[in-house]
Structure 1
């Protein structure tokens, strides 16, 4: 397991094994990767998450986390069994070099390279592809939006579909997922009748980098930092900063040092504020044109739907029929990619999430995909050889969500 998590784990250098064995064990003085055993229910996983640890993923009855010594002690005091998988290097880079991926990961795209790919799509397919912006990040980067539609310059009354990626900085595979969608629906338009039908019938919008500042920081100096949040102060978890049920239910943290810090107020993160304003602007005469949405994350291979803030499937804002439709559509998509379909809160309670806000305030059929891998290996940093198989794996699910917007 430690070898599989090598992109995250930094082994102590310069100490021979014989010397380490001779020295008395001492408690770690920095963040460590742990596997928390016996967390086979959403209630137990929620209890783990509420201590403020960084939840990386789950597999069976094991939850993989990053925790500092105090957080690890709190979990043990609550009765959880923790197994360490080694320390994590979150120290800032001292290199003045621009952000770049380390060897073995150069097939991934930096923010600048993503922007170039989107500009190429617009230049090569000007009749169906148009690049615009949803706003700016905290550090001033453009939140790129690519529109793909038959009459791309026209503002037509047609169903719209949104794909968002990279809310969490270290989830670089999701950016590649968004680029896969762009590539497939532009290049395939002239030759694939199914793609042509989808493009002719909808407006498809793709936002590959919701959190470009965090993503660039995560690869600063050519090494990974396991960074999750944006770069505003100590960082805000953008997927806990959305306005619906913000901070309501123990599914986020009010402490700026925690990985699920929700910010001082809803939409205090410039990125969530910008994207939410962009979504709201697609409501015309009281009718939201965006009908369906997938927010891509890693990892655990899950298809998730609202609610995240409560274990209840129905209630205010969600009828039994609507809950059944979420379930049916989610299961259809999961049947194509082998992911596990479930209500978001069955993973653990979250509040201030994008999916809950999209449905509650705009009635958008909004899903989260937690992409490859299913377990902790290779975690957030699969080698670039995984990009093609793990993005093409979602082609059929993408088609389903687009066709769901068309058919209503």
Structure 2
């Protein structure tokens, strides 16, 4: 049995202990993750902002609808699934008839001095030094870094503003642009937003789920690895001479801003924010912000492909809230606009229809955690390109040092409305989700210490290099 260590294990609160001792439905000793609905006025225990991890015995065998109200973690142990919640979640699990055990209580991280909320008016080199929680870059630091790279490497880098966040599009003062960077040894026509590029394109996006801190750091390091290695590293030089490599370091800047504020003087519950900032569907008074509840839409459940299917929720406070309609969110509209401007359509309709053998391009969306490589479809049958996707997934997993790989329903749980499903569905480009970081140990979970990032980078760098190389002929021999 896998023993998961997401953070500091602390004594149970009286609330959880009382429920755990009340009957056989929930017991101590294991690991999981849950998230039911919570209103803004509710709390697990006075002053307790900790997160709790629960193990759901044989959760993978249960109908997806039975787990739809819970915040499933990106982890699986055999057929056991895991749920993130608070002390109150023990009662919710018991009431749902689920066999659950409580493994851990994770205390909120210590607070730091607050920094601005919203995009800085001037993305200076000083702004590029902003960090929180021991070294993670703020949204403004990520964006200032893009500008700095483009200034210092004008022959290699172009920054593109491809849309606005929900806050900015709504006129709020604390919103953000949506930004990407194109990296290549620039020639005529390179980095244009047209799908007919002469160079094959590889697109990486990160931090769509705001609380998954590691992913933005991996994107940051990938950018630096490429521009600093050009002309020095043979592999990097060859890639930038022959490919366009696009990076969206922050896919959900409003959400990441909320997480930053949780670490820097705001509510500790915001440290666990996963979704966008769009609260238009929330109940009066808003949703409780904690480890299993929050305002916003899950951008990785809001995309058009199989929208509303398994692994999504209709509850606005649930962490997997699908939104009120398919691709309703401005961030996703902008991301799909970017996809369609980068890649031509090479796949006809139909879940079993394969993309053309001559398709060019690759797409990776980074999430955390559990050391997994996932590919479409997120729920149900295999794609028409399953053999090729599976072979690439296996190679990526091997390069990482032995990650798991497969469709989400095979090795994790079913997912609908995801970015990788929708890009593949729409355009036929091979698309993958990487769950970066272990589920256990001192570097496990959504908020590993920044010192863990060197080890993650050693795994992710060869995977990114391989994916970029495959962009020329991903379905070819």
- Residues 198-277 of structure 1: pairs in structure 2 closer than 5 A: 198-223=239-264, 225-233=271-279, 234-247=295-308, 249-277=309-337
Q: Structure 1 44/270 Cα, relative in aligned 2: closer, same or farther at 3 Å? A: same
Alpha-carbon spacing, 1:87–1:124, altered in 2? closer, same or farther (3 Å): closer
Match of 1:15 in 2: none
* Paired position in structure 2 for 1:55: 72
Distance 2:389 2:307 in 1: 22
Which has the larger strand fraction?
1
Q: Where does structure 2 lack aligned partners over 5 or more consecutive residues?
A: 21-42, 118-129, 169-175, 191-196, 280-294, 348-354
The reply to whether residue 34 of structure 1 matches residue 27 of structure 2 is no
Q: Is the 8 A contact 2:131 2:141 kept in 1?
A: no
Partners of 2:6 and 2:440 within 8 A in 1: no
The answer as to whether partners of 1:10 and 1:87 remain within 8 angstroms in 2 is no
2 CA distance for matches of 1:187 and 1:45? 49
Q: Deviations over 1:183-230 (max 9, x none)?
A: 111110110111111111111100000011111111205355211101
- Alpha carbons of 1:152 and 1:243: their partners in 2 closer, same or farther (altered >3 Å)? farther
Give the Å deviation of 1:139. 1.6
Q: Secondary structure at the match of 2:211?
A: coil
1:403 to 469, 473, 477: 469
1:238 and 1:262 in contact (8 A); partners too = yes
Displacement, 1:56?
A: 2.2
8 A contact 2:205–2:248 mirrored in 1: yes
Q: Call closer, same or farther: CA 1:218–1:10 in 2, change over 3 Å.
A: farther
- Residue number in structure 2 paired with 1:135: 163
Q: How far apart, in 2, do the equivalents of 1:47 and 1:285 lie? A: 33
* CA gap 1:11/1:253 in 2 versus in 1, 3 angstroms: same
How far apart are the structure 1 equivalents of 2:341 and 2:200? 14
Displacement of 1:59 = 4.4
Give the C-alpha shift of residue 309 in structure 1: 2.2
Is 1:305 the counterpart of 2:375? The answer is yes
Task: Flag the 1:79–1:286 CA change in 2: closer, same or farther, 3 A.
Answer: closer
Change (3 A) 1:401 1:26: closer
Note closer, same or farther for the CA distance 1:134–1:117 as it changes in structure 2 (3 Å cut): same
Alignment of 1:377-396 (within 5 A): 378-396=444-462
Distance in 1, matches of 2:341 and 2:116, equals: 35
What do the CA deviations read for 1:40-84 (whole angstroms, capped 9, x no partner)?
A: x7334946642x211223242443322367764453343412315
CA distance in 2, matches of 1:385, 1:85: 22
| C-alpha distance in 1 between matches for 2:52 and 2:188 | 48
Alignment match, 2:208: 167
1:359 matched residue in structure 2: 424
Is the partner of 1:387 in helix, strand or coil? Answer: helix
For residues 274-307 of structure 1, the C-alpha deviation after alignment (integer angstroms, 9 at most, x for no partner) is 1011111224597998611110000111000011
Q: Note if contact 1:57-1:376 (Cα within 8 Å) is conserved in structure 2.
A: no
Verify the 8 A CA contact 2:274 2:298 in the aligned structure 1: yes
Structure-1 residue corresponding to 2:185: 150
Gaps spanning 5+ residues in structure 1: where? 13-19
What does residue 17 of structure 1 align with? none
Is this contact kept in 1: 2:65–2:310, CA < 8 A? no
* Structure-2 separation of matches of 1:186 and 1:350: 35
Deviations 1:371-391 (A, max 9, x none): 002337531111111112212
CA deviation string 1:170-191 (max 9, x = no partner):
0111001111110111110110
Aligned length: 384
SS in structure 2 of the partner of residue 114 of structure 1: helix
1:25 aligns with 2:85: no
What's 1:106 paired with?
134
- 1: CA distance, partners of 2:448 / 2:417: 28
- Give the TM-score of the pair, scaled to structure 1: 0.84
Runs of 4+ in 1 over 6 A off after TM superposition: 8-12, 87-90, 285-290
Q: Which residue of 2 aligns with 1:189?
A: 230
Aligned residue for 1:25, secondary structure, equals helix
2:200–2:361 contact (8 Å) kept in structure 1: yes
CA contact (8 A) 2:52 2:86 kept: no
Q: Distance in 1 between matches of 2:72 and 2:185?
A: 41
- Secondary structure, counterpart of 2:312 in structure 1: coil
- 1:117 counterpart residue number: 145
